[in-house]
Structure 1
């Protein structure tokens, strides 16, 4: 539980960090002089953060000056991420630095210089620490405990496929989602999904600490089937509770219950 709560908090903080970056990001100057071919899509972005989030655009600003600049479309051809299609950063200098008169301009296509640029990196380390300490191995632990022996191999194969399918889905949609919902919005969406997961885990995943595989199987049976199974076990000489010969009540199988021999 602590790991999941840590993941939620770190995701919310990551979203907040990107909001701070967006607020502190350099503003976009009018592109009336440097209009894109066709529609001026890049010039419509309000600041550097929105500009570099668009995979077709980059932000051109004077080196060392992080207040204003131009959002320009990438050039086509080799090293197109280093210079723009038009404007001050149009020179193919072989790097992201461009000389215009006596001033040097930088063309950035993936990041912006702000006071908060390093914060998401730190928070990402915190997130990974929280995720790897409990949330990441949780599917494999649950797989090992929940399924009965007769269906274990098939069920583990199915759940492993679903787990990796969603990993692939998140990887494939991250960039598109960050453009549609902004980077901050993306992490807030992830935090919301994790909150739903936490609620599901708390109310629907039973506590299996100290339980054998057979006992865990009983936790997922309905009342009638569980009573029949326990009756058969008693007839065969197997008892789940030395202190009481009666069958466990429904309340005995709550999320915090344990079964004793």
Structure 2
């Protein structure tokens, strides 16, 4: 969806887009609110992502906090020998074309550049619930293996995992008895229920065992409309206190999940 590979840019988008009522808190406690407010305040954080800096990416000395930023999407999947992401491959080509064209030189102060690569792949090869879940589990699992090192590097600090979710559209569960399409065409109506991603037990399995103290799941590109043409509201971000497993829990069968993205 965007050239937002830099952790600083991902956090900047989060800080600029979060509004009252757009964040789900699990639980709705003063402690979780304080974590959200701390991450939202760029002035209290130190960039610790340099080559010689002991990870994680950011430190908040005044709050005794540390934060690791990571990204997930619903394109990445395992190939024969390596991970494959056609979306990122196309995005990289577009970025290189823009650099070589000289267009970016005309905007030297631009902080963010948004693009929308088209892979021309059929639906489930482009946006896939199974890819989405496995990538989420893989990324959190990778950082889970580093959590002990983060605590050793910065003892006494609470650890926040900030997950930037680059999946676009939203998934939904196709109603039982209805055929599951390989892809959704623009304007097509399908009977089903929206994917409440924050409550999906398959994702929660990775969240509540990731080794952090708190997790922020930022998903800025999710959208879905109901049969009356009204957009279904989704939280832009979810904040979890991982010491308290209070988020609602829902099961979603992978074989009935489809992305709303055409």
- State TM-score, norm by structure 1: 0.22
Of structures 1 and 2, the one with the larger relative CO (CA 8 A, separation 6+) is 2
- State TM-score, norm by structure 2: 0.22
Which protein shows a greater Rg?
1
Larger relative strand fraction:
2
Larger relative helix fraction:
1
